[in-house]
Structure formats: C-alpha cells, structure tokens
Amino acid sequence: MKIENDIKFDFSDVLIRPKRTVLSSRSQVSLTRKFTFPNSTSTWEGVPVIAANMDTTGTFGVMDVLSKHQILTCLTKFYGKNDFKNQPNMQHNWKNAIISTGISDMDYIKLSEILTWRSGSTDQDDITWVCVDIANGYMQKIVDFCKKLREEFSNIILIAGNVATREMTEELILNGGVDIVKVGIGPGSACLTRLKTGVGMPQLSCIIECADAAHGAGGYIIADGGITCPGDMAKAFGGGADFVMMGGQFAGHDENPGETVEENGEKFKLFYGMSSEHAMNKHYGKMEKYRSSEGRVIKIKYKGPLENTVLDYLGGLRSACTYINAKCIKYIPKCTTFVRVNNQLNLIYAK
C-alpha cells in the first residue's frame, strides 16, 4: 500500500491568473491549430475540440454541425461500414470524423472493413482518424491491439485510451504506435466509475501529468471528461491538453438523437454513459452479472440548437486567451498560471 501526499487538482480547485495582454479583442485570437503526428504522416488543422463517442453525441447529426466549425466528432463505435457509406455528408466531413472501436476480435474485423473500404476512396480528404476506446486503458491488450492496427494501417491518426497517469501514456505512444492518448478516469458527468470502483485521478492533475509524458514522447493528449463550462475548457488547455473532449455539454440539443420529453413545463433529452445498464441493454441485450453499471442515465435540460452551445464555448475560450495574452490556442499552456482557490464563483443568486 502506498499513499501519494501531494495534492491533486480538479478544475474547480483553481482559477487562471490574468496577465498583461496586448490583445484588445477576442477576434484577434485563433482557435485553430495544425498538428503533425509521431506515428502517422497525416497532418490536421482545425479547432481541437471533440464530441464524445457516446450514443447521444457521437452521431452524424452532431458531426454535421461541428464540422462547420472545424471541430471533431468521435463517432459511436456502433456505426458500421454501411452507415458510413450511406451517410451523404461523409465526403466533406472525413477530416473531422473519428471512427471508434473496442478491442475484441470482432471489433478489429469490423474496423478493418471500414478502413479497407476507406483506403480505396477517391476523396480528396484522405485523413482517417481512429479511436481505440475502452474504459480501462491499462490493459496490455489495448497496446497489442493498437500495435497491430498501426502495422496494418500505417497512416491512420490513432487515438487510444482511457488512462490517467504518466507510464501508460508513454507506453501507448512508444510501444502501441498511438498518436494521441485519451486521458481521464471517471470525471464525466455520466460516469460512475469512481463511485463503483474508487479508481480515478482528479482531472486537471491527470491532464498535467499525462500531457508532460505525451509531449516528452512526441505525442499528444485528449482531456476527456469533467467539462462543466467554458472556463473548464480553458483550464484543460491551460494544463497542457492538446484536445478537449466533451459529452454532456454537447448533449440535450435539437441535433442530439432521442425524443424531447416535457415534465412540469420543462423540456429534457436523455443522456447516458456508455457503461450504463441502459447502454448495455440497448446494444447487447443485457448487462452481464459479473459487472455493475458504471454509467448514469441523465435527463439533460433541453438546450435548443447545438450551434448556440458551440459559439458559447468558443467565445469563452477566446475570451480566456485575451486575459492571458495567448494569441492562439497552442500558446495557452505557456501563458497559464493557476492559482489555488477555495471558491471560484459567487452563487448567491444562482437558481
């Protein structure tokens, strides 16, 4: 048994200290960034924000909206080759679409079918993203799966996770052929992993540690989960995240699937974790008795068009940049100083 005594931080534990700035308008800030990758010869330029690969957010409808802003969508792993072939907007959205997969033998076969079909495409946009996504990224099997995938499809931009510490971040990049590691164990609004297992790492400290490890190995990280407001997104980038993934904040809109229900005069849409009993029953017909539900089912208050939320978050991020003299998103970590706080908001009139 070992105890680490240094304090680990979440987004709510800190604020970003303002600094003298030469920026006089949010319009002077660029949120696009160009990436080259350690294990792929592909390059990508866009806004490094990602919709999570959940049933209600990792959809073609969400992708159509986000692609207009050069934002990525990590599509649900339950889409197959025919779903991609029959999607009319895919030709224009491939560079901002991420294919998701698990690590079973059947997952590999299904993914190979998509990638083989994709490799024969004549689309001008030949970028292909793949996210190898499991809840516990510490398994040796995910490293082996990624290594095999890299050997067969050498030029994909490869994401894998989730992890929350230095050593596995390095392992996936150096030995798994991964370009980007997805980090975060249990911070998501629909995740019950910390409650059911006691396992996790406060998300800001997770980002800082994993970013340092990934950058030392030539790779990148995605901060996955824990974003409750635009300020949290700014803190994630300030901590060294290269990409930020959101689920709940991109849920509850017109473009998210599912019916809008009304209760006591208020409208809601359903949002649920992919390890929830609800998701297990939907996709596999049951939840196995050897596991417990590690996801919530949440009624998200209806938010209207997704476009409004996108503009709110990008606007908040630009504003954060003007407070710290970061003229582009890549410079945010260099311009960020965190201060520890006991309280960050005055909530006296909050409902």
Read off the pLDDT of residues 208-233 as tens digits, 9 standing for 90 and up. 999 999 999 999 999 999 999 999 99
User: Which residues are CB-contacts of 143 (< 8 A; sequence separation ≥ 6)?
Assistant: 171, 172, 175, 176
Q: Of 122 and 154, which is predicted with more confidence? A: 154
Whether residue 350 lies inside any domain: the answer is no
pLDDT band of 55, cuts 50, 70, 90: confident
pLDDT of residue 284: 66
pLDDT band of 84, cuts 50, 70, 90: very high
Q: Of 5 and 292, which is predicted with more confidence? A: 5
Whether residue 6 lies inside any domain: the answer is no
pLDDT of residue 89: 85
Mean pLDDT to the nearest integer, 54-59: 92
Whether residue 275 lies inside any domain: the answer is yes
Question: CATH number for the domain including 244?
Answer: 3.20.20.70
Among the ranges given (19-23, 118-122, 126-130, 345-349), the one the predictor scored with the smallest mean pLDDT: 118-122
* pLDDT at residue 105 is higher than 90: yes
Whether residue 180 lies inside any domain: the answer is yes
Please say whether the beta carbons of 76 and 58 come within 8 A.
yes
- How many domains, the chain? 1
pLDDT of residue 199: 94
Q: Of 119 and 84, which is predicted with more confidence? A: 84
Whether residue 21 lies inside any domain: the answer is no
Q: Is the dihedral of CA 36, 42, 46, 48 positive or negative?
A: negative
Mean pLDDT to the nearest integer, 188-199: 87
Domain boundaries, position 217: 28-253+266-339
Whether residue 345 lies inside any domain: the answer is no
pTM for the predicted model, two decimal places:
0.93
Whether residue 259 lies inside any domain: the answer is no
* pLDDT at residue 299 is higher than 90: no
The mean pLDDT value of the chain amounts to 92
Mean pLDDT to the nearest integer, 13-28: 97
pLDDT of residue 252: 93
Whether residue 193 lies inside any domain: the answer is yes
Residues forming the active site: 191
